[in-house]
Amino acid sequence: MSAETVLTALLPEVLLLAGLLLLIGLEIAVPRHRGAFAVSLLAVAAAAAAAAWLSAGGSSAAPFPGHYSVGPDTFAAKAVVLALAVPVLLLARGEFPGGPFYPLLVSSLLGVCLVVSADSFLTLFLGVELMSIPVYVLVVLAFQREESAEAALKYLVLSGTASATFLLGVSLLYGGSGSLALSAFSTALGSRDVLATAGVVLVLSAFFLKAAVVPFHTWAPDAYEAASVPVTAYMAAVVKAGVLFAVLRLFALAPAERPLVDLLALLPLASMVWGNLAAMRQDGLRRLIAYSSIAHAGYLFYAFLGDGPGRFQAVTFYLLAYGLMNVLVLAALPPAGDDVARDRLERLKGLFQRQPYAAWMIAVAMLSLAGIPPFPGFVAKFLVFKNVVAAGYPVYAVLGLVGSYLGLYFYLRVIQYLFMAPPPPAEEASAAEGEGAPSRLALAATVLCLLPAILIALFPGWVIDRLGG
């Protein structure tokens, strides 16, 4: 395989790597430079565009046979993830004028790209770690709260335990199959051997933790709350996407079989119920988003009950709709004096009177996350549940919809705060105090989330066709 083909196949990664090297070079050569934002934005946007272009071209290649291969699917997945990172970067500008944020973010994105294309367990593991390790640091980086370090530590320890679980699972699969290829996983899905089953469950448990599925979700509320706004957006949208793409890669087209089906249904179901219930009485927006993301992890894993071919489309579309909406909420959140005040849900009361645009954006995102038509979240949820029904699990589908009904309550609560609750006069002064309009870059981020959201709401068919499958 010639260098040219390889370079083309790796174009998104190469662009990211070039950006990363440039960032590090700048850091060393120019002290106190202010170019980090521009460089990383350019690199990520270019990588996203390259991935989209390659996906449209329909090319596929295996630059590192047995380890790393690309096809239209992987390019589409990379395009989705990288595109989601662009508004996150726009949000970060205000919080992180420079420093280690940008190289860390770009290396984490590189990890996601590695995950999406991995063909062997080792590559997958590397990708997942490369994706996660920078995030532990990102959580604590802004250090806005006392709890930031504690939350980052919890995330690190629990995530590390999950990595150990993953490795144990992989070694069992390796012991059984003698192969480190990812296909060992999908083969083991159909096997009734003790080692294969145990390996599959252990690997799956690790990804349940990384995606925050009950009962492995405990790190998420703390970490989401402790991180700064752009990092929360990154975790909710991009990291979750990376984890789900890893699972997609693992399952390939293999159908889920009993007894795995029950595990794949019950834990996500518990996630939906628990996430939605716990979100009911949260006072902080980021904690609310954390619980909502726990519930959404449940919906996402539900997709794996469905048949293989529809899975990629369902998950990718869901990740796109869900990621855009999460970033949108956080981008539209008006800045305030300190972080704790900014995060308080109460402060959204009567936002519509003060900042109608921001209020509308948050409302659209909430309705979409709740899965109410005609917002994109509806089509996403529908795709998932339709596949579940078609695969012959109507009971699980109905239970899942019941679970998602519980979520309606807290999404509506936010909307009522926005539109229908004028803050009491005394609080109004304090609420408006320090509340600025969203920065121009944050506004650009909302537009970047909103336009694709409108696109996928109006022409879901067109988008799904582009996602291959």
Partner 1 sequence: MRLLLIVLIPLLGAWLPALAGRWGRDASAWTAAGLAATALGLTASAGPGVFDGQAPAAAWPWLPALGLEVALRMDGLALLFALLIPGIGLLVVLYARYYLAEDEPMGRFYAQLSLFMGAMLGVVLADNLLLLLVFWELTSLSSFLLIGFWHHRDDARQGARMALIVTGGGGLALLAGFLLLGEMTGSYSLSEVLASGDAVRTHPLYPAALVLILLGAFTKSAQFPFHFWLPQAMAAPTPVSAYLHSATMVKAGVFLLARLFPVLSGTDLWLFLVAGTGLATLLFGAYTSLFQHDVKGLLAYSTISHLGLITLLFGMGTPLGAVAGVFHVLNHATFKASLFMAAGIIDHETGTRDMRRLNGLWRYMPHTASLATVAAAAMAGVPLLNGFLSKEMFFTEILVLEAHPAVDWLLPGAALLAGVFAVAYSARFVHDVFFNGEPVDLPRVPHEPPAYMKVPVEVLVATCLLVGVFPAGTVAPLLAVAATASVGAPLPEYSLQVWHGLSVPFAMSVAALVGGIAVYAARRHLFRLHDTLFPRVDARAWFERSVRLAAWQARRLTAALENGSLQGYLAWLLAGAVVAVATALGADGGPLAGPLRVAPVDPVTGIGALAIIVAAVVTVVRHRERLVALVHLSVVGLLVALGFARFSGPDLALTQLSVEVVTTVLLLLALYFLPSSTPRESSRLRRVRDLLVAAGVGGGVGSLTWAVLTRPSETLSGFYVDQSVPGGGGTNVVNVILVDFRGFDTLGEITVLGVAALGVYALLERLVLRPPARDAAGRAWDRDPYPLVAAILSRVLLPMALMVSLFLLLRGHNEPGGGFIAGLVTAAAIVLQFLASGVAWTRERLRGDGAALIGWGVSVAALTGLASWAFGRPFLTSAHGYLHLPLVGEVPLASAMVFDLGVYLTVVGATVLILARLGRVAVLGRAAEGEG
Residues 363-402 contacting partner 1, CB under 8 A: 367, 371-374, 378-379, 382-383, 385-386, 389-390, 394, 397-398, 401-402
Contact 111, 245 (CB under 8 A): no
**For residue 61, with 0-12 CB atoms within 10 Å meaning exposed, 13-18 middle and 19 or more buried, which class applies?**
middle
Q: How deeply is 424 buried, as exposed, middle or buried, from its count of CB atoms within 10 A (0-12, 13-18, 19+)?
A: exposed
Binder among 168, 341, 345, 443 for partner 1 (CB under 8 A): 168
C-alpha 328/C-alpha 323 separation (Å) is: 8
Helix, strand, coil percent values for the chain (each to nearest 5): 80, 5, 20
Among 77, 90, 91, 133, binds partner 1 (CB under 8 A): 133
CB nearer to partner 1: give 45 or 263. 263
What is the C-alpha to C-alpha distance for residues 435 and 415, in angstroms, rounded to an integer? 19
Piece of the chain touching partner 1 by CB under 8 A; list 81-89, 174-182, 427-435, 440-448: 174-182
Site for partner 1 in 56-75 (CB under 8 A): 63-65, 67-68
49-57, 100-108, 246-254, 319-327 -> range binding partner 1 (CB under 8 A) = 100-108
Which residue, among 271, 391, 383, has the nearest Cα to 321 in the 3D structure? 383
Of residues 75 and 102, the one with the C-beta less far from partner 1: 102
User: Using omega within 30 degrees of 0 as the cis cutoff, is the peptide bond preceding 259 cis?
Assistant: yes
Q: CA 230: distance to chain centroid?
A: 13
Report the nearest approach of partner 1 to the CB of residue 440 (Å): 26
Options 29-37, 48-56, 157-165, 232-240: segment touching partner 1 (CB under 8 A):
157-165
Calpha distance 218→278 (Å, rounded): 12
Nearest residue to 114 (alpha-carbon basis) of 167, 77, 61: 77
What SS3 state is found at 71? coil
Nearer to partner 1, 209 or 431 (CB): 209
- The correct pick among 88, 158, 239, 442 for binding partner 1 (CB under 8 A) is 158
Measure Cα distances from 344 to 14, 15, 348, 417 in Å. Answer: 41, 39, 8, 12
Q: Does 334 bind partner 1 (CB under 8 A)?
A: no
Chain residues 276-305 in contact with partner 1, contact rule CB under 8 A? 277-278, 280-281
The reply to whether 360 sits near partner 1 by the rule CB under 8 A is no
Phi, psi (rounded to 5 degrees) for 344: -65, 130
* Contact pattern from residue 210 through residue 239 relative to partner 1, giving x for each residue in contact according to CB under 8 A and a dash for the rest: -----xx-xx-xx-----------------
Round to whole Å and give the CA distance between 439 and 441.
5
Q: How far is the CB of 178 from partner 1 (least distance, A)?
A: 4
Residue with tokens 């309550």: 409
Sites for partner 1 among residues 27-46 (CB under 8 A): 28
Contact letters for partner 1, residues 407-426 (x by CB under 8 A): -xx--xx--x--xxxx----
Altogether, the residues listed in the chain come to a count of 469
List the one residue from 130, 238, 239, 442 that touches partner 1 (CB under 8 A): 130
Among 117, 316, 404, 446, binds partner 1 (CB under 8 A): 404
Query: Which of 227, 250, 260, 288 forms a contact with partner 1 (CB under 8 A)?
Result: 260
In the complex, least distance from residue 256 CB atom to partner 1, rounded to whole angstroms: 12
Instruction: Name the minimum Å distance from CB 68 to partner 1.
Output: 7
Task: Please report how close the Cβ of residue 67 comes to partner 1 at its closest, in angstroms.
Answer: 5
Q: What is the DSSP string of 154-209?
A: HHHHHHHHHHHHHHHHHHHHHHHHS--BTHHHHHHHH---HHHHHHHHHHHHHHHH
Query: Which backbone phi and psi does 180 adopt, to 5 degrees?
Result: -100, 5
Interface with partner 1: number of residues (CB under 8 A): 110
Query: Does an H or E element contain 263, and which?
Result: helix 260-279
Among 29, 32, 146, 258, interactor with partner 1 by CB under 8 A? 258
| Minimum separation from the CB atom of position 198 to partner 1 (A) | 5
Of 201 and 442, nearer to partner 1 (C-beta) is: 201
Distance CA(11)–CA(23), nearest Å, equals 18
Pick one of 55, 205, 271, 293: the residue that binds partner 1 (CB under 8 A): 205
